[in-house]
Amino acid sequence: MDRIILHSDINNFYASVEIRLNPKLEGKCIAVAGDPKKRHGIVLAKSNQAKAYGVKTAEPLWQAKKKCPQLIFIPPNYNKYTEYSKAIFDIYTRYTDLVESFGQDECWLDTTGSVKLFGDGLSVANRIRADIKKETGLSVSIGVSFNKIFAKLGSDIKKPDAVTVISKDNFKDIVWPLPTHAMIYIGKATAKALSKLGINTIGELASADKSSLESLFGKMGTKFYEYAWGRDSDPVARFDAVRLPDSIGNGTTTASDIAAIEDAERVIFALCEVIAYRLRQQKMVAGGISINLRDTNLKTITRQEALLSPIGTATQLAEKAVQILKAHYNFSSMPPLRTITVSAYALSSQSEAYQLSLFAKDSAKDSHLESNIDKLRDKYGAAVIQRALNLETPYTCDAKEIDEGFLPFGKGNLNKQD
């Protein structure tokens, strides 16, 4: 028997919740967005009316406003989004215990074992849609298929409030005409590279030479080929499974341009405080550090370096990131920076890594010190103790806000997947 995999995507999640909270916004062009007064303000979500004007997620607010002059900006209400997300997640678990989150607004479900109780995939999808609409007032689009890749693609094909079934009998007709970037894990850069090879649709990807794809894209090239044929055996995790991140990153667009290495160091140390905090929560250390820089001309540079021994303290992370920055960026001859992102990757267990490190004793002492600092900040607030380096830009957030990614320079992304 084929697996029955569903992928459910809440339609315009943030914007839909805001309309539920304030019905007067119904039918209007709205965008949930960052602070319009700050340079890093972007559109986080938009209503269908705003979408009709070409407003896109992640575009700058000034650009969105130019497309849609009547656009209403609404600050995000993360607590409410979490409440709605949890309520919908609880609905999913009525039908199966195999529910895997893919962000706050998306989930995969494996209902193969629930057929006798709730019917086939289409029946379950329609029941879930009805339950969510009745209990939360929100709508979802659901893809039903025999694997996670096609289920995800199905939820994207028809929106809003719809169900799309992709089976072994019809997937060539539905999936293959679609552009390659419609498939998860194929971003703009990969789609562009495939296009240069004459591969523009998923069907053309399925007809490509697998060994050539592997030589160009590594193991992912083989996976792209297999995904195009619907060959994906990746299981749906249990709803209570703990999934460890592949990387932990944090970035910010600063209120003013960064024109000197000293200013960049302060930003990097602040970013690494948060990364180290989250690493300690996961009991993990990093085997590599990467930095992503965007200058005032909007040119982006990414550099990374694998480490001989894993590291995990803020000092170690920041010193390595600064070392990479100095090796690849010269402030005297290059434009000022407006955005800096630091990421820790190649993560491994803290205890396992320290057993291998020649500097385990020093690393453990530093980690113990920073763990005690965590406790102080949890109790008295993040400003209670700070580095001398950052005295000019003191913390104004508490430990909970640090965990959510807030920095004196703006909001970072703690779980960015690089």
Under a CB-based contact definition with an 8 Å cutoff, are residues 346 and 298 in contact? no
Taking the C-alpha atoms of residue 201 and residue 324, their distance in angstroms, rounded to an integer, is 38
24 CB-contact burial (10 Å; exposed 0-12 / middle 13-18 / buried 19+): exposed
Active-site residues, by number, are 106
Taking the C-alpha atoms of residue 343 and residue 279, their distance in angstroms, rounded to an integer, is 11
Taking the C-alpha atoms of residue 312 and residue 275, their distance in angstroms, rounded to an integer, is 9
Identity of the amino acid at 25: L
Phi, psi angle pair for 142, to nearest 5°: -125, 135
Contacts of 200 (CB under 8 A, 6+ apart): 179, 180, 194
Strand order in the sheet with 140-145: 99-101, 106-110, 5-10, 140-145, 163-165
SS (H, E, C) 322-361: HHHHHHHCCCCCCCCEEEEEEEEEEEEEHHHHHHHCCCHH
Which residue has tokens 């062009």? Answer: 29
- Distances in Å between the alpha carbon of 297 and those of 53, 228, 294, 300, 301? 27, 38, 8, 9, 12
Q: Which residues of 193-203 are buried (b: 16+ CB within 10 A; e: fewer)?
A: ebeeeebebbb
Contacts of 386 (CB under 8 A, 6+ apart): 394, 395
